[in-house]
Structure 1
Amino acid sequence: MQLLFLILFVYLALSEECACKKEDQNICVECPDNCQLQIVNSTSTVPLVKCFVNTDLVNCLEKDSHNSNVCLECKAGYFLSEGSCVVCPDHCLLCNATTCFSCETINNITYTVSSNRSSCINCMDETVNMDCGLCPEATYFEPSKSVCLPCQPNCKYCSSSLCQQCYPGYYTQQAFCNKIQKCQTALTSIDYCDVCFYGFYRQRGRCQDCSVLETNCWVCYHDEVNIISGCTICHPGYVKVQGHCISLADAHCKVGYSDSGCLDCEDTYYFDVNMTCQRCSEACFSCTQDPNNCLSCASGYYFNNDGICERKDSNCVSSDLKGCLECVDVLSMGTDLTGYYIPKDGTTCEICSEHCNRCVYNSRNCTSCVDGYVLKKMVVDGVQLRDCVEKQSYCVDTEMGFCVLCTDGYFLNGGSDKNDDQECVKCDKSCGSCEVSTECTTCQVLYYRPLNWKELGWKLCHPQSEINMTCEAGINGCVTCNEGYYINSTEPTTYKCSVCPERCGSCQYIESTNSINCLSCPTKDLYAKNGECYPCSDLPNCAKCSYDVCSKCKGGYSLEQNMLSCSRPKYELIIPLTVLGVVLIIVFLVGVGLLIWRERRRYVYEVDQKLKPFKVNSDLEMLLLGSDNKNFPMKTDKWELFFGLKKGKAIVDKVYEETLSIANMTNKTYFFEFYTDPSHRFDLEIEPNNGVLGPKKAATIVFHVKPLCTASIIENIGIVAMDMGAQVKETAKLTIYLDTDLSVKLDYTELKPVLPAIGEGGFGIVFKGKYRDRIVAIKKMKSRSLTDELEKEFNHEVSMLLQMRYVSVVELIGAIYTEGEIALVTEFAEYGSLTKVYLHQEMSYLFKVKVMEDVALALSYLHKNNIIHRDVKSENVLVFSLNPKMDVCSKLTDFGTSRCISEVALMGKKLTIGIGTPNYMSPECLRGNGEYGFPSDVYSFGVMMYETYTQKKVFEETDKRFEKPWMVPQFIIEGNRLEQPPTCPSNYWNLTNQCWAQIPEDRPTFMNVINAIESWGEDIVSLPALTLKNGGKISQSGGEEEDDNRSSSETSSSTSSSATHSRESSRSPPLYSDQIVFN
């Protein structure tokens, strides 16, 4: 009851009514101060409004518009409870009677709703971690148990059933953590792969196989925003072609990178506008920009007048890029065939006129005719020619369009001059042959002419009938005089016989006494003695004479052999003389036999001393008996000679020795001898080369071999053993095995030249060829042997090339020193000289700049080593690639005129006469009295820069300023230069002007040239200029001297480059082995 009373009291107090201050139509509209209007009864038609005391509600933001004692919204930190505001727990900004929803931040302390949501706590205080719901990594808070429970495996942050964040290398999928495959672990985000392994790409944070995008792709990309993808690096052995990875073979690519595509096409292929390799036409060996735009023709093709490769006709046996060089020689197939010729300025073979098997420039300008026809001068269309006509009847035989034999009584006239005709002309009747009709060369039968006919004034022959009565006549007069006649045969002016004196029957002229001796007498009663006739009675014991001799002796006498005396035999001397003769013969034979025996013993002794034979012991006997040549009577401890190099390589020009024991195991005496064939690959000496071995004797043979060139040597040595008694020969063979190390001296049999020749110079002829499966250029000497001057020049060029081992200098493979095969072998440039390239195709500006930089690097290398080239020109620059993105596009060659000079003597030498090419020679060289040095090469380089840009040769004869040869030197010496081409960039032209400056000191060095080109910023691959160690000198071995600190510098460079290894490793290596790396 009391409680009800209390409630009634409070209500009345709270609803204390105030008097209305102002009314309007019986409705209160204004209350006094501290009172407010309130509707008492709102159900009636006219509401009842009264004034009540104003009660203040604390911490209320918005009150009820109908009842000011009722709060609708409280301040922060309070909550509504029965129309009034009640304070929240400490630091709680938003709450209700049981729960705190949000806490405040004060004094840099952020308060957090407790785990039971009843209060705000400071979670920086470790004592309340559990109330804060803070758990260690990989655990979560379980409110129902107020404990931390472990997350799922590999989960870093989670709730009771859901992983919010996985550890690096894992990602969330269906509330679980799965490992991110093919991702570099160190490069992952929370559940997202930043960098995949090579061969995979990133898609929605995961790594997908590149093969999905492109087969044979090693590194690829995928842009999820722009929805684009592609391959950046292909697998090794593949190159990018229009975004796809194609194998080198399928892409017809010779050299390429896996990331940047093909750099050089295979032979017979070219780059199209899409930089893909397309096949050239059948007629082209190499082409550019179009399959029919040939740079060089295929085998059997040549360039016609329109610059198109045309197939050579069947009658052409030799051609070059300009056309047919030589037509088929029909003379090798027969002398009655019509030949072929190449018209002047023509490129194909055309047939000569009928009966002409060789002609020049015109079908009727013959140089040789078929059998039975001769050359005859005639005028055709106002041009004097020589055509073939049928031979004269007096001509017996013809050769090559000339009569070579006339019938008897005719001679060949004319033909001594190439414009003369040749014909058979009749000789005089007294002539057997003649050269002119008024003078005989030989006489006709029954005619003669003395030997001194010129002195006698005889030109024709005389009849032999004039002298037949005194002698037997011949072609020069009397040969044998008749009986009673003589002739002085020693006197050339005497050609007929004279009558003997009356005292002689026959006689003879004696030159020594200048007298006539009787050979016989005129009657039988006389005989001839000492050139005179005497009575027969003067002969002792002669009974009767017959002309010149005694014909009968007196009794008891016999006629002697001379038939001029008679004598009797002296028997008392015959027997003793016969016995003495027999004894002398016996003594002679015995003496000869003793001498032969003594010489034989001495020879055997000398051979034994030379061989130093020794007795065969049992061990050696067993070794020799194991020889594989059982039929050979002499045994040896080895049949194969390795000279101690069975597993090693021999050094060229070094002598190696092998010792061999040979034994005679028979009971006979044998003579042995070694036989070898001369070889250009090695020198072999055998000591001794032959000898005699008695029974059971052995000897030591020493072999010395010196390799002369790089080769694999397998050669046989023959050995012959002859039984000294039976004279029976047996043969066997030894084999030399020798493999040499690499050297500059090559074996010419390993070179495989390809015909025809691709060039010719003053030194020799150049062929393309192969050496051990490498394409090379073979510069073969024209002369088969070396004179002292040629040998000096040859060795000089080899020496220069050996020293200058540099990336933009043509590489020397080796040299051939074998007589008859002397040659230089260098690397082969597919595109030939720079002149050939710029005359046959359009070159890009980038390519021109790249070529000039390559040449400048080569000349800078030479000058650093005090070497002056002295013949810098476009013909001496070889082009290896047409792609300016290659490391090297061109290389310098031809060092036959290069000279190595010291700094002291550099300015003290004058240019040798005949060295260099006038169009490229500097003013000081052309004057002939100036000094030459490094600036001379720089001037020539400037001329070459002009040629390369304009793609035409300087000082052409079509320019009236250079019609005469002497005008070019005069133009240069006077300080004049060619004009700037209209399209030439200013930086290129400025460098050209600096290089060909008139004063040598004003010209830049090649290091300045290289720096200038690099400053242009062109998009080419620039090689670093070589900085030589040890002051830039070249060692005697031809290469750079080694640096003692090389290993340390390499270590430091490898350390400094480790930071960029990841980026650089993504670039695959070039797909060729001959790679040059600069550090």
Structure 2
Amino acid sequence: MKVKVDAIKQSLNVKSAENEENVIVIGNQKYDLSLTEFIEIEMESDKQVDLDNFTITKNVFLVAANGFEYNNTSCKSGYFQNGIFICQNHLPCSDGGKTTDGRCAECQDVNCVMCDGDNGNCMKCKDNLTYNTKSNTCEEYTNCLSFTEDKCLRCVDGFVFKGNNCVDITEGNGNCQIKVGVPSECRMCDLTNITLINTNGVCSVVHSNVVVHSLSNVVECKDGFFVQNNICNDCTTNNEGSLLCSFKTTEKCDKTYYVREDGSVCVKNECSDGTNNEENGKCAPQIDNCIKYVNGMCVECSSKYSYDGNVSCVEPSTVDVNCGMATPSGCIRCDGNTFLNISTHKCEVCNSSCESCLDLTKCLSCVDGYFLSDHICKSNDELNDTCARKVPNGNGCLVCKVGYYKKGADCAQCDVECGECLTENSCIKCNATNYKTSNGDCFPRSAISTCAVEVTESGCSTCKDGYYTVNGNECQKCVEGCAKCSESTRCTSCDDTYVLKSTSCVSYNTITKCTKTKDSKCSSCTFWYSPSDDGTFCSKTAVWWVILLIVVIIILITVLFIVLVLFVMVKVIKHKRDTSKITLFKLEHTNMKFVEMADGLIIHTKNEEFLITDDDLDENEIDVNKQIKNLFSIGNTTNHKVKIQFTSKTNEKYYISFDPHIITIPPNYGCEFSLFLTPLCNSNMESSFVINYFIFANDSKTCIHQMDFKYITKISTRLDPDSLIEEKQLGEGSFGVVFKGKLGGNTVAIKKMKNVTNAKDQMAEFEKEVSMLDKFRCDYIVHFYGAVFFPNKICMVTEFAEFGSVCDMLKNKDAKDVDMKLRIKMCLDATKGVSYLHKNGILHRDIKPDNVLLFSLNPNDVVNGKLTDFGSSRNINMMMTNMTFTKGIGTPIYMAPEVLNKEKYKMPCDIYSLAISFFEIIGWAEPFPKKRFKHPWEIADFVGKGNHLTYDENFGIETQEMINSMWDIKPKKRILCDEIVKRLKTIFSKFHKNV
């Protein structure tokens, strides 16, 4: 509903409506609203509208272009809801100030017409008064020549500006920053006050005619003034008729004057009859009834005439038929649907849709079927897309669609941030991507990046840690150190390194003795301090474990002291005991035969060559790897003490030491020494050691004497590497390299080891193998000569097999070249070797043709093949009860099923390996052809399932039965070596009756 109000307020007797509900009084009209639940009232008035009501229960929205007043509150728009009026947009007070509830009230200071609240500071004083900031009151100007409403523009003579007041010029020099001389003269005025200028040593406010000035000079004056002697003088002072000039020239004159050609002065222009002076001073032809000319045109007529827009002054009634008011300057108001064209001073017809207008583009009212919007008449059809309900039988819109708001009679689109709005700047509901603030503004939801939940139309309901809710639905960061807070400075928990005290978070560095924080509390303090229960300070506390530690340290020190004393005592006792073992004797009391050594020293050995022998056995040859002790004596025939010390060069073939190693022999005394020698290999050694001696005399010096010795060892398996002669390399494998060589007069095979990474463990295993091989005494076991145990020279020496291994023959000879008799003999000799091992409780664990060496190809010889390679052999007594598959032992092709299945195994595993070897030797072919078994695990799978190889024509019935008994899947059912030897002899006898 649109209401036109003609008066702000008129006397209206409404007492009869006091008890009426939903009756509202607007201006001097009363309206009944009881027939509708919601109504929007737009009030049109050129002044503020007064609004009265008694009881409103309906939803009513009110808006007025120039505002309305209700209950002493000035509003532009507001609404009634549930009987309560809410002002949505307050209007500023025309005078006085706003109270906290939005009403206008008079200012406390009677001289103040506008203030900040009814008790606030004055914002505008009454005319001719100025506001005093010290007393907070409005006072009269003093010593001010001219002023505006709130500012003095010019002081009277003898006074200058200070703030907004005029003070005595002597006081004005208080604006001086630099003074010199007596009496003082100002050299520089206050640079912060741009209105000051230094004139003859006095700081004063520049004259209002000055436009531009420096610190002490006037640079530019207003129009009509020029600079002379640092003062702005009136142009007419020395040049009558001048309107614009400089110091020596004139630029513009009064209309009855013109500028002389040299530009110096204005010259009076006397026009002839029939002409008049124009505004620029020139003469123009006279126009009847015209009193003002410009460029030959009349711009103003006499009082009883009006300018017709051309060149004449005519009577007002003849100017324009549409002219409603004519003046000497022309028509100033048009009637009907015409408007005044300023340039032509004529009335022209408005736009066809305009009922009245200001010009062609600005309408004041519209014809029927059109409505006014921003001085433009629009067709009612344009409201189809924006208006929900048009004015019945009228022009314009009554209710706009969602997303549009009422703007006069038009509907304008809401701001892009609004979903629904009442005015351009008043959103009722925000769009889908915005939320509504407490002030009614719509902001993007993405602007609240610190919300812990999804931002809705209502804003954020829960903020992230470190932020708190502000304005009801927005988030603001807590103060530094706060992990969570309910207000800006009210923390509920703190960040790391901060402690919560009351409602504030403080750095733990500010808490004396605190070193660490946890859960907003001080959790750790420096030594001898502990955190309080609330974790806000550190208190001194005895540390029990420190006291305990001190006690323990004292006990440890005591124990260590006792141990040290005992250690020293033991050392002393040992020293005395060792000293007691040293045999010192006087030379005069011995019958030993000494020989001269050097510098008064004599020596006695048991033989002249100093041959080391075993005194226990009384033999010249000594055992290898056994320590031998020999005695010798050194005497001191000088008159001074002599210090004796023994040294020897390192030799890998023996160990040597002395007891005592160092001693001081008194004069004419002798000392008995023990020489300990351990040969490490077979050798006939000649070597020496050094006797260092020092004679305690004035010219004493350290001297040395070389002492030669020799020894001869017994023959053992510990060989001297220098006794081996390598002739040629026979082969190489992962274990090492095999050479053919000589040892003494025998041709031997030298097996050099390589890849010795763990010397200690490997040497222990190597010594075990050598010890085992040294015990073998069998014609069917390769003879073992010995081994070298020196690092980087480790090797084994066995007898040399001239014809290589059975495997070599399998590779190099066809089956037709090797008769069955020799094949059976190879198997028989190998079995005899295995039988010898088993009878001595030893498993070979790697029986295969590679490890059967051939020493003869004549089957009639006693021995053709011998068993070798005992690197995998183990004493059966060591592990008979718990023997499982050991990684790296044996060859998968020849392994028994129990070994492949990592089960416990015993001697029958060697019998199985013999069976596979027999199958290969007798059949003279690979047992597991590569065409059929491409991968090793296929062999293991085949054997593990209890499968056996297929015999060919080379295998007789007896041979097949024997092999079947050897490779039975159950180890306990396999026959023993003696039974195998017996059966092989039977088979062999068929080829050789004499065996």
What TM-score results when the alignment is normalised by the length of structure 2?
Answer: 0.38
Tell me which structure has the larger Cα radius of gyration. 2
More strand by share: 2
Higher relative contact order (CA 8 A, sep 6+): 1
